[in-house]
Amino acid sequence: MSEIGDFRKGKDQHFGSGKESPLTPGQRKRLRGLQYFPENPKLQFVLPVDEFSEDEREVIEMATSTGQTQAYLRWGRLRFEVDGTPVVLTVYRDVDGDEVFMPFMDSTNGEDSYSNGRYLDLVDNGDGRLSVDFNYAYNPYCAYNPNWSCPIPLAENRLSVAIKAGEKIFTDAEAG
């Protein structure tokens, strides 16, 4: 099994029986595994970060699925191509930490993937570049259960192209 296959198997196990799973007890009983796009090596990148200048960096309040907000530092941009189409996405850092976060929406939202977007946690290589592997793109916890509060990607991270990698829509989502 590939590294991504092992990751997905572990995630399924966590969602099915883990104490921190976002799934309700009924969903856990019915879970037969999350659905994913096939692994796509064309959506794996190591990209330089165009860091924002001190004047451009700002703490923003990202709206969440429950009507609240969550603070993030607008940190930089990534530029790459998807099927020959140039795209730009903004990356954010936790206000209190070093985690690099990239919420995004694409043309698969609402049909093949969760309507309010997906997330990708990025690995900082320490050399001005980030490892970006959309095969690890995941749904926020509110995609499974609306009792969770999840940031909604800003307009600057809404793509017209399809990111056919990572987690697909969860069809057994519980209503509030």
Report residue 68's pLDDT band, with 50, 70 and 90 as the boundaries. very high
Domain presence at residue 23 = no
pLDDT band at 175 (very low <50, low <70, confident <90, very high): low
In a domain, 168, yes or no: no
Number of Cα atoms under 13 Å in the Cβ half of residue 92: 25
Q: List all residues 6 or more positions away from 130 whose beta carbon is below 8 Å from its beta carbon.
A: 46, 47, 49, 78, 91, 100, 122, 123, 124
- Report the C-alpha gap between 21 and 11 in whole angstroms: 9
Which three-class secondary structure state does DSSP give residue 54?
A: coil
pLDDT band per the 50, 70, 90 thresholds, residue 93: very high
* Rounded-to-integer distance, Cα 124 and Cα 142, Å: 26
Percent of the chain at pLDDT above 70?
98
Segment 157-166 mean pLDDT: 97
Is 103 part of any domain?
A: yes
The pLDDT mean for the chain works out to 93
128-146 average pLDDT score: 95
Looking at residues 144-151, what average pLDDT do you find? Answer: 92
As a whole number, mean pLDDT of residues 28-44 equals 95
Confidence band for 1, pLDDT divided at 50, 70 and 90: low
- How high is the pLDDT of residue 124? 87
Note whether residue 25 is domain-resident: no
Q: Domain of residue 98: give its range.
A: 37-157
Structural domain contains residue 43 = yes
Higher-confidence position of 85 and 18: 85
Domain membership of residue 85 (yes or no) is yes
Measured in degrees and rounded to the nearest 5, phi and psi for residue 152 equal: -105, 130
Q: Structurally, how many domains does the chain consist of?
A: 1
What dihedral do alpha carbons 105, 175, 145, 16 form, nearest 10°?
-120
Q: Is the residue at 166 inside a domain?
A: no
| Closest listed residue to residue 92, CA positions, set 67, 111, 125, 70 | 70
- Is 146 in contact with 176 (CB distance < 8 Å)? yes
| Residue 116 maps to a domain | yes
- Nearest alpha-carbon partner for 123 in 113, 115, 138, 133: 133
- Is the pLDDT at 37 greater than 70? The verdict is yes
Average pLDDT over residues 124-132: 92
Confidence of residue 174 (pLDDT cuts 50, 70, 90): low
Instruction: Evaluate if residue 176 carries a pLDDT over 60.
Output: no
Full DSSP string of 128-146: SEEEEEGGG-B--GGGT-T
